[in-house]
Amino acid sequence: MSPEKDDGLSLWLVPPEDSEIHTLLADAITRIVPSTLTAEDPPPQFEPHVTLASQIPRAAITGDPQTWLDEINLPDTSAVEVDFQELAVGDTFTKKLFIRCRRSDSLLSLASACRGFSAGVKVGEAEYDPHVSLV
């Protein structure tokens, strides 16, 4: 679970810290992309991730957060496919520069389970755009 501005909480799919993809994405987020920007304020630093659910009201998390997470009825997560498609630019806070991911069945199933469990989540499956933000 990770904070997302003041719009509630998010559930992220994060690559293992010891994986090559985590190292490459973290380097892009913390060093490569910021070195190419001319903005006065440095971009925020965050873990490489694909957002599964966002805008989860803080009030939805009752008691221990880990207990709440453990109650999500997740599909088999051992074979979640995250395939990168393209580098893209957007105009929203969470999608300025990002890598769009293919909407694989396994990723959609995982995101759907997370969104279905999280009261108040506003993004439906048709609007879900899996991506890895770089800025």
pLDDT of residue 40: 72
pLDDT of residue 55: 81
Domain contains 92: no
Domain contains 89: no
Per-residue pLDDT for the chain (135 aa), expressed as one digit of tens each? 554 445 688 899 999 999 999 999 999 999 888 888 776 777 788 999 999 988 888 888 878 989 988 988 888 888 899 999 999 998 887 788 999 999 999 999 999 888 877 655 555 667 888 999 998
Long-range contacts of 90-95 (CB under 8 A, 24+ apart): 93/5, 94/4, 94/51, 94/54, 94/133, 95/129, 95/131, 95/133
Domain contains 96: no
Domain contains 97: no
Residue range(s) defining the domain that contains residue 9:
2-80+103-130
Q: How many distinct structural domains can be found in the chain?
A: 1
Domain contains 135: no
Count Cα neighbours of 113 within 13 Å in the Cβ-side half-sphere. 16
Per the document, the length of the chain is 135
* Cα–Cα distance, 115 to 111 (Å, whole number): 6
Domain contains 90: no
Contacts of 98 (CB under 8 A, 6+ apart): 87, 88, 89, 90, 131, 132, 133, 134, 135
Closest by Cα among 94, 93, 98 to 25: 98
Q: What is the pTM of this model?
A: 0.82
